Chains A and B, each alone.
Chain A
Amino acid sequence: GDSVTQMEGPVTLSEEAFLTINCTYTATGYPSLFWYVQYPGEGLQLLLKATKADDKGSNKGFEATYRKETTSFHLEKGSVQVSDSAVYFCALNSGAGSYQLTFGKGTKLSVIP
């Protein structure tokens, strides 16, 4: 079945550091890929998405490229801020008419001033 593996946290970075959170997936067909972010006490917010190979999703300085050859969708940001502290989830939808998302376990990011 479908699965998503993302790097274990927690990750602690200094403000303005470079961020990478690794995500790899297993899926049949051609899944759509997503990154969601969850702030404390809140639901999930869609951060970015990519629907086909070589697509690059981007939002708020975050980027991720859909790499079919390595089945990866790594999240990157060039300069993190304290306000980026949150839990980040990689997710996929394998299509076929269902909107079910399969999530990774989440990576907690803490950014210190």
Chain B
Amino acid sequence: KAGVTQTPRYLIKTRGQQVTLSCSPISGHRSVSWYQQTPGQGLQFLFEYFSETQRNKGNFPGRFSGRQFSNSRSEMNVSTLELGDSALYLCASSPGTRTYEQYFGPGTRLTVT
């Protein structure tokens, strides 16, 4: 099976712009989660989607949003970018079994200048 794929892998944006990141989960996985990784804050949970519904959301401002499509692919959007949004954004998918394991993609490296 192909792993979790994320596009683009690298992105450079300017403050005030918006950005959309894409994630394709492992085939058959219905749960998709997003995480932000920074040197200072570590790995922080953004949100989780299951069958097109947001089930859980982390403590991030409303500028961060996401969605999931009927084929389980997911996108996250960040509006009005700030310098502090520079980070590695990781997507993870889960088969939806009660073992709660997640499989991560390679991430999208976002740099805000």
**A32-B99, A105-B42, A106-B42 are contacts. A98–B90 as well, Cβ < 8 Å?**
no
**Interface stretch of the complex, out of A14-22, A43-51, A68-76:** A43-51
Give the bracket for the number of chain B residues in contact with chain A.
20 to 34
Closest Cβ of chain B to A70, distance in Å, is 22
* B107 CB–A CB distance under 8 Å: yes
The number of residues on chain A lying at the interface, defined by a beta carbon within 8 Å of a beta carbon of chain B, is: 23
State whether the Cβ of A110 lies closer than 8 Å to any Cβ in chain B. Answer: no
CA distance in complex: A32, B100 (Å): 7
Q: Is A7 an interface residue (CB 8 A)?
A: no
- Interface 0/1 of A83-113, CB less than 8 Å to B: 0000001000101011111111110000000
Q: Which one of B48, B58, B101, B105 contacts A34 once the chains associate, using CB atoms below 8 Å?
A: B101
Residue contact A99 to B90, C-beta cutoff 8 Å = no
Asked if B15 lies at the interface with its beta carbon under 8 angstroms from chain A, I say no
One digit per residue, 1 when the CB lies within 8 angstroms of any chain B CB and 0 when it does not, for chain A 33-63 equals: 0101000001111100101000000000000
B22 at the interface (CB under 8 A from A): no
Per-residue CB contact flags for chain B residues 78-112 toward chain A (1 = under 8 Å, else 0) read 00000000000010101000111111111100000
B43 in the interface (beta carbon within 8 A): yes
Listed A/B pairs (8) with beta-carbon separation below 8 Å: A43-B4, A43-B6, A43-B90, A46-B104, A49-B101, A97-B55, A98-B48, A105-B42
